[in-house]
Amino acid sequence: MRFVDQVKIHVQAGHGGNGCCSFRREKFIPRGGPNGGDGGNGGAIVFQGTRNKATLLDFHFQRHFAAEPGGAGRGQDRHGANGEDKVLLVPQGTVVKDAESGEVLLELLDEQPHVLFTGGAGGKGNARFKTSTHRVPMEWEPGQDGPAAWVLLELKLLADVGLVGFPNVGKSTLISRISKATPKIADYPFTTLVPNLGVVKTPGYESFVVADIPGIIQGAHAGAGLGHRFLRHIERTAMLLLMVSCPDDSTPEEPLAQYCVLLEEMRLYAASLVEKRRALALTKTDLLPPDQVQALCRQLEAATGEAVFPISAATGQGLPELLSYLAAEVRASRQAAAPPEVTRPALPPHQPAGQP
C-alpha cells in the first residue's frame, strides 16, 4: 500500500434550494393566497477521523468532493429536502489546513465528526412574505451558495515514542524486535522510505506506540537525503528516542556529532521538537568491546545530560532496560495529560418513607 501523508483537495458544501413562488388555485376557493414552500438547506462538509485508515491514499486519486444541494421549494407549502452531508473519513491525526493561508481549520484526533463548512441556507418561498396588507406577494428568495475551498490534508501519526536517527542507525531493526512491525531492513542508506508504527506491549499489560521515521542527515532542512518532512509524524509524541550508533563504515561520525546534527535539524524544523522529553540510545554496541562502550556512554551522558542506554537490536542486549524506561516515561506523560478526577460528595443513606 502506498503511503501518502499530504494531499490537496477541493471541497464544496451544498447550495441551498430556491424558494417557490406559487398560489393556491382550487375550485370554489377564491383568493387562495400564496403557498410557495421554502428551499432546503445544502449539505455540510464533515471530516471524521477513523482508525481503519493509515494513509491519505484515497484522496490522492479523487480530489473533488461536494455535498448534496438542497431541494427547491414547491407549491402547496411543500418545502425542499435538505441536502445530504458529505462525510470524509481520514486517518486519526490528520490536520486540515487552508491551502492558501496555511491556517489550521481542523485537527482530527478522535472519531468524532467535525463540520468544516455548513451548507447554504435554503431560500424562502412567497408564502413567507404574506402580510395583512400584502396579500399577493410575488417575492421569493434564491438559495445561498455553499462555501468552497481548496484544503490541504496533512497526516501526523499518533504515537507515544518517536525514533530519530541517521540512516542505518538501527531504528527499523529496533522496532521489529520490540513490536510486531515488519519494516524493510537492509544494509544500504534510506531503506526506510515511509514511517512505520509498532505497538510495544509491557509486562504490566500496558502498551505504547513507537513511530519509526526515515533517517535524518545533516542538511535535511535544505532537502538533503529525504528532507525533513517526515518529522511531522513525531510532533505529537510524548517523548523522543534519539538513536546514535557506534562508529562503523555506514556511520563514521562520532555519536556526539550525530546527536548534535539531529538536534539541530529538529530545531530548524520546529522548536517544539527539541523541547520534548528525550532519551539517547547507543546502538550496535555488539561491535565494540564492553569497556569502549561504557566509555562512550559516559562521554555522551556528560556532554548531553540525557539518559543513555547502550543497546544492540541484533542481539537484544539492553532492550529490557530501555523498554522499562520508555514505558515509565509514557505512563508519566499520560498521567500528566489525564483530566483530574471529579469527586462527588457522599449522599446520605436512604431512609424509607414514614421513618424519621
Return the CATH number at 46: 2.70.210.12
Rounded distance between C-alpha atoms, residue 277 and residue 261, angstroms: 17
Residue 178: enclosing H or E segment and its boundaries?
Answer: helix 171-178
Residue at 310 is within a domain: yes
What pLDDT score was predicted for residue 17? 96
Check which CATH number belongs to the domain holding 280 and give it. Answer: 3.40.50.300
**327 and 190: one domain?**
yes
Residue at 102 is within a domain: yes
As for how many domains the chain has, the answer is 2
What pLDDT score was predicted for residue 341? 55
Angle at 341 between CA 340 and CA 345, to 5 degrees: 135
Residue at 259 is within a domain: yes
Residue at 243 is within a domain: yes
Query: Is residue 306 within 8 Å of 269, Cβ to Cβ?
Result: no
pLDDT digits (tens, 9 = 90+) for 21-69: 999 988 888 888 999 999 999 999 999 999 888 788 889 889 999 999 9
28-32, 72-76, 87-91, 260-264: least confidently modelled range: 28-32
Query: Is residue 32 within 8 Å of 75, Cβ to Cβ?
Result: no
Residue at 211 is within a domain: yes
Q: Please report where in the chains the cell 393566497 appears, as a residue.
A: 33
What pLDDT score was predicted for residue 186? 56
Instruction: Give 183's pLDDT tier (boundaries 50, 70, 90).
Output: low
- pTM metric for this prediction: 0.72
Q: Could you tell me the residue range of the domain that residue 307 belongs to?
A: 161-337
Residue at 347 is within a domain: no
pLDDT digits (tens, 9 = 90+) for 122-133: 999 999 999 989
What pLDDT score was predicted for residue 334? 79
**71 and 149: one domain?**
yes
